[in-house]
């Protein structure tokens, strides 16, 4: 059987646009002689549609699109993801479904059985799970139609499983001789290898070929990497889709030979994910250009490089906003970066408005020393100016804070947190440096001084981040253990970290939740990001004793 995996980039809610993308892929498959064309999970609606699923008209229109697609199919089959209607009660009103279309009809419908409700997933909020599944006969084959999570519960691969059932094993036992999986599996560091090993293990376990079509593209915080897969019955990789790009993969399961795959370095993968997520967020929200502040530091430099890669240099505006505390080196580095990237560049000093604001507050603040209040005024003035540029020119403001800063609250509400997208908010500081060196691997784009000088907000004389924080290599490791791995304070201390560092960092992480709740959405590239996948109350007093 010749199968085409249509690794497409869908837009949530763009039902007619997604229909056209699916139809174009189907027609390409027909022209290429495919027996079956497979699309990603919820290809008609885009993934994840979230509370759009609670609008009945949304579900009705997606069903109308399904029927339109069925009507234009011929002998070549089309497997398409859509939102089904669950008619019986009790239960939720919708199902996460796939349909096999051919000969102008809906030949079969199957529903997702395993509904992920953890981290960024919330499917049990919306969908009624399938009680059972059975093979579908097509072209002399018995297809096991599954959806994303249905393939992620192999007892041979996972030491601990979330679900009791293994839909793929059950389908194989029921006579399915080919597994088809429609997926919308978001990417994070480590996912590429885990996913490939897991699907390979499943194919070998059940002794059936598996074709796996994954979504590609950025949707809000999530980045979907594509990298669709096909394995033979022995679990050997026979086809693979492009990473972080649309692709059309033809595989003949009767004649396919095993292939090898060399995973790129982590820096390249994170870079590609961030570029795709940034580009899609802007374009899918109706923007074409971006503006950001350039401090001369490493974070804004990295963000500017990503913006140029995603949008083109002509669509990026960099702004230096120096105060009396800004070093000449930082000003030089910001200008050099802008020149290296070829972007629009402006210098707008903030000292005049800063002095004006201080003058307005002098009487009220009389007798009180300058402190973080004056530092925050500077950051907020920068936010006011950048937002003015964003409004005037219709350019989305990008924030430039990294995950380490966000974790411990080293950011200013309504200041450097102003913006529409927090591009590197899930990138720890150490990875920021790694990405910068990777970008500079062939020639210097980010000035070397930005990589070597001590990080500083430059909001008071001789300020350095490490004045009040442990070194970033220590901070990032504590952050990884506490937030990502979920270790306790006692476990982190047992790993050899200084108690003062651990307790300070953990305290700052806990206290800064109110800031993160008000931050711009950020692109998720680690297994646990701040945002939709980490839901902690703000008004709470639990502390580890």
Q: What angle do CA 480, 486, 488 make, to 5 degrees?
A: 100
395 is catalytic: no
Q: Which of 180-184, 467-471, 539-543 reaches the highest mean pLDDT? A: 180-184
Residue 25 has phi, psi (to 5 degrees) of: -65, -40
- The active-site residue, picked from 112, 191, 403, 429, is 112
Region(s) of the chain under CATH 3.40.50.620? 270-465
Confidence of residue 466 (pLDDT cuts 50, 70, 90): low
Q: What angle do CA 156, 161, 165 make, to 5 degrees?
A: 80
Residues 295-320 have a mean pLDDT of 97
Instruction: For residue 421, give the 3-state DSSP assignment.
Output: strand
Instruction: For residue 121, give the 3-state DSSP assignment.
Output: coil
41 is catalytic: yes
Residue 464 is predicted with a pLDDT of 64
pLDDT, tens only, 382-432 = 999 999 999 999 999 999 999 999 999 999 999 999 999 999 999 999 999
What is the rounded distance in angstroms from the CA atom of residue 98 to the CA atom of residue 80?
5
Both structure tokens of 365: 């603040």
- Rounded (10°) CA dihedral 9, 14, 15, 21: -30
Residue 462 is predicted with a pLDDT of 62
- Among 96, 69, 94, which Cα is nearest to 81's? 96
Fold of 2-255: Nitrilase/N-carbamoyl-D-aminoacid amidohydrolase (3.60.110)
Least confident of 158-172, 201-215, 243-257, 344-358: 158-172
Go through 4-37 and write b for each residue having 16 or more CB atoms within 10 A of its CB, e for each that does not: bbbbbbbbbbebeebbebbeebbeebbeeebbbb
Least confident of 244-253, 467-476, 484-493: 467-476
Mean pLDDT of the chain: 94
Residue 460 is predicted with a pLDDT of 61
Q: Which CATH superfamily is domain 270-465 in?
A: HUPs (3.40.50.620)
- Strand 316-320, strand 77-85: pairing: unpaired
Rg (CA), the chain: 26
- Among 444, 300, 454, which Cα is nearest to 382's? 300
What is the rounded distance in angstroms from the CA atom of residue 141 to the CA atom of residue 178?
7
Both structure tokens of 478: 């504590």
pLDDT, tens only, 221-280 = 999 999 999 999 999 999 999 999 999 999 998 889 999 999 999 999 999 999 999 999
Does position 209 have pLDDT exceeding 70, yes or no? yes
Count Cβ atoms below 10 Å from residue 142 Cβ, excluding itself. Answer: 17
Residue 467 is predicted with a pLDDT of 63
Name the H helices within 54-190.
Answer: 56-71, 167-173
105 is catalytic: no
- CB 254, CB 1: distance < 8 Å: yes
Both structure tokens of 133: 């599944």
pLDDT, tens only, 330-364 = 899 999 999 999 999 999 999 999 999 999 999 99
- The active-site residue, picked from 2, 123, 128, 148, is 148
- The active-site residue, picked from 2, 41, 405, 515, is 41
């Amino acid at each position: 059987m010749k199968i085409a995996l249509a690794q497409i980039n869908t837009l949530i809610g763009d039902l007619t646009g997604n229909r056209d993308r699916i139809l174009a892929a189907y027609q390409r498959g027909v022209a290429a002689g495919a027996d079956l064309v497979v699309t990603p999970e919820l290809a008609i609606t885009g993934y994840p549609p979230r509370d759009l699923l609670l609008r009945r008209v949304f579900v009705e229109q997606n069903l109308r699109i399904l029927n339109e697609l069925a009507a234009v199919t011929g002998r070549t089959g089309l497997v398409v993801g859509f939102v089904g209607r669950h008619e019986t009660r009790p239960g939720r009103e919708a199902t996460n479904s796939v349909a096999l279309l051919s000969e102008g009809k809906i030949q079969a419908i199957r529903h997702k059985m395993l509904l992920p409700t953890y981290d960024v997933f919330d499917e049990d909020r919306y969908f009624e799970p399938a009680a059972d599944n059975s093979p579908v006969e097509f072209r002399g084959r018995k297809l096991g139609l599954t959806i994303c999570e249905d393939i992620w519960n192999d007892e041979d691969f996972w030491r601990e499983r979330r679900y009791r059932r293994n839909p793929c094993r059950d389908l194989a036992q029921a006579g399915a001789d080919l597994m088809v999986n429609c997926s919308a599996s978001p990417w994070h560091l480590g996912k590429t290898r885990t996913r490939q090993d897991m699907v390979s293990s499943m194919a070998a376990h059940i002794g059936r070929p598996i074709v796996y079509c994954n979504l590609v593209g950025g949707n809000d915080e999530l980045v979907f990497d594509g990298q669709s897969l096909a394995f033979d019955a022995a679990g050997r990789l026979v086809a693979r889709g492009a990473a972080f790009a649309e692709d059309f993969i033809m595989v003949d399961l009767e004649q396919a030979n095993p292939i090898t795959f060399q995973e790129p370095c982590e820096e390249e993968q994170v870079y590609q994910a961030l570029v795709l997520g940034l580009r899609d967020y802007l374009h899918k929200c109706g923007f074409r250009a971006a503006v950001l502040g350039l401090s001369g530091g490493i974070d804004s430099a990295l963000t500017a490089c990503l913006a140029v890669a995603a949008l083109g240099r002509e669509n990026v505006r960099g702004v230096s906003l120096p105060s009396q505390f800004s070093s000449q080196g930082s000003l030089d580095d910001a200008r050099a970066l802008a020149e290296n990237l070829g972007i629009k560049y402006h210098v707008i000093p903030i000292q005049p408005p800063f002095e004006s604001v201080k003058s307005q507050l002098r009487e009220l603040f009389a007798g009180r020393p300058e402190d973080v209040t004056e530092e925050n005024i500077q950051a907020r003035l920068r936010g006011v100016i950048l937002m003015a540029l964003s409004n005037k020119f219709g350019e989305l403001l990008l924030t430039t804070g990294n995950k380490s800063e966000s974790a411990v609250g080293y950011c200013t509400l309504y200041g450097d947190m102003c913006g529409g997208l927090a591009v590197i908010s899930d990138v720890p500081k150490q990875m920021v440096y790694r990405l910068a060196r990777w970008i500079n691997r062939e020639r210097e784009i980010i000035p070397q001084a930005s990589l070597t000088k001590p990080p500083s907000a430059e909001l008071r004389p001789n300020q350095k981040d490490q004045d009040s924080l442990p070194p970033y290599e220590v901070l990032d490791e504590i952050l990884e253990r506490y937030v990502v791995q979920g270790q306790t304070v006692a476990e982190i201390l047992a790993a050899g970290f200084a108690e003062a560092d651990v307790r300070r960092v953990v305290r700052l992480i806990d206290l800064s939740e109110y800031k993160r709740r008000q931050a711009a959405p950020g692109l998720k590239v680690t297994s646990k990001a701040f945002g939709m996948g980490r839901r902690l109350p703000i008004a709470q007093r639990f502390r580890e004793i």
